[in-house]
Structure 1
Amino acid sequence: MAAVASSSMHVSTLAGSSLHQAVDQISSSASSGFNVLEHRDRFQERALRDVTLSSNDSAMMMDPNNPILVREEMVSQKDYFRRLKFTYLEQEAKRHFLSSIMGDEPQRVEPGENEERELTNAEKKRVLKEAKSEIDEMRAFTVRLAEDNAKKHTEMSQGLAEAQALQKQIRDMELELARIKATHPPENRMTTAQANDTLDAQIVEMERVTDALSSTQTQIDSTREEVAKVAKEVQRLSREREREEARAKEVREGREAGDTKVDEICRWYSSSMAFYRSLLGIRSVKAVSDNELHMEYEVNDGQVTLALHFDEVTKRLTDASLIGSDIDISESVGIAAGANDVAGLVADVLVRLRPV
């Protein structure tokens, strides 16, 4: 394992060094300039030598470093030759005029001389036309080559900038890797198998934590709902407590004032409830929850409990059942639930439990 790691490190080091050498070579090539720059002095010398000597306002004289001004120089030279031709014709006309005045015999044109001159001029014109065509082609090729070189230069500049940025990142990564290797010695490093095992264990742990989080969230939601219900019940009981405390205060004040009417009413109410319970055979009444009430009956066969279920919102009777007895009261429960007749259901159940 160590040999493989060292060989891979050696290969990566060689690849990094070759990459750095390539980037440095590109940078030096870009900074050294192109072949056009090396022959700039030669071009300027040739251009200045070909410039019209009698033209002081020549474009090439003003800016010999700009090859695009060659066309303007050609136009200037054509204009210069037109002026020379006009001057020649003017001088020739003067010579003929003076010869005619002074009686000198003008030079004769020998037979065939004009034809020979025409042939010579035609050949020279053909050569000149070919030279012009060649110059135009060279100019078009030069412009196209300049555009290609400019495009290549732009691409190379962009590539060079990108290569330099990558080189900087690679060097930073190499420094960071060297720092990590120095901080963590080989004996403290994990192999690929150990890393995979650790990763699998972490994935399993994450799944377990996710499931636990989901179940905890469900419990939190249910607990939040329960807390809301308890808070509402606490508010309701608080209001009832305030009312009962106010009543108790009134009773206490009345008792202190010598009024025993409330005590007599309480004793009568307690005795009436006890008599009613004994009459109906009710042993106890207990509220199991907010919407469920248990009434325990004392019968010959033992104890029977009537469980009454009420709606949480409307507080109407919704269902009832007998606990400790096999008597079917479903029909009576349906009738009582439809009419919300709790007293009728209690009486009917009592009749069924205590047949005459």
Structure 2
Amino acid sequence: MDTEIQHKVAETARLRDAFQKDAFHILQLEETCLKKARNVERFNHPGTHTPKAVEADLAYYRTLFSKLKFNYLEQTTKERFLRDLMQEPPVDIELEDIQEIEAGNLVSKKELKKRKTETQVRHEQIDYTINSVADGYHQVKSEFEEVAPILAEIAELESQLHELEGDDTSNQVTIHDTLRGDIDTCRDETARLQRTAEDLEDELKRLATQQKSEEAFAAEAVRQALTKDPQVQELYDWFTEAQNVLATLFGVRLLKATGPDSVQIIYDYTEKDDKYATLDLTFTESPTFAITEAK
């Protein structure tokens, strides 16, 4: 039993010496880190803030953190081992416990790896979102700078539009009054023309009635003249036949003498609606018989 205790004491002394050496090694690493940190602070000025410099510093601190973490875990494990050795009775660790711990460590490692992967993915998503937001911000800012003059111009145009609307209202009132006066004038003129047209229609009907009575009187005079002179009857028959020929060939409905040297030809004469076309011919008495006027 004494031999076992002495063996444990010797092992404890050996572990204490190793712990002191490790503590001295940790102090050396800490001093080295402080020196490097001072060097970084001394050279840390705006000119060195470049992506490559930042990546180099990040890689350096990651390596340093890994070393410190490993040293811390190693030191903690040694301290725990020493405490376990100093306990009475000593704790016996069986193979099943080791296998169970290793299985738990394996599961923890897988979970840690999974979480690291998720963290990396989220980190990439955050970087992408930040870049997208920054690009969108710059784009919106540039678009706003482009739109600002247009908005000012729109406001100015709206003010001018309001002014023009006020002017247009007064102008429209004036134009409306002018148009109303013109419409009233046109209505009066239309009424006057309608009255004139009615008067002309009445006059036309009166003249048509007078013409019919005069034509009847002329026919009666011709009839009486024909009964007195056979030569006149022959001339009248020839005139009637010639008038029928002209009506058939040229559409002449009436041919009458309006004077000693003038003749009136009426085309397409219809007694139903009193529509006809007339041609007045004026002759001249000369060695060469000719028409001097036609209308």
Please indicate, yes or no, whether the TM-score normalized by the shorter chain is above 0.5.
no
Shorter-normalised TM range: 0.3 to 0.5
Taking structure 1 as the reference length, what is the TM-score of the superposition? 0.28
Larger radius of gyration: 2
Taking structure 2 as the reference length, what is the TM-score of the superposition? 0.33
Higher relative contact order (CA 8 A, sep 6+): 1
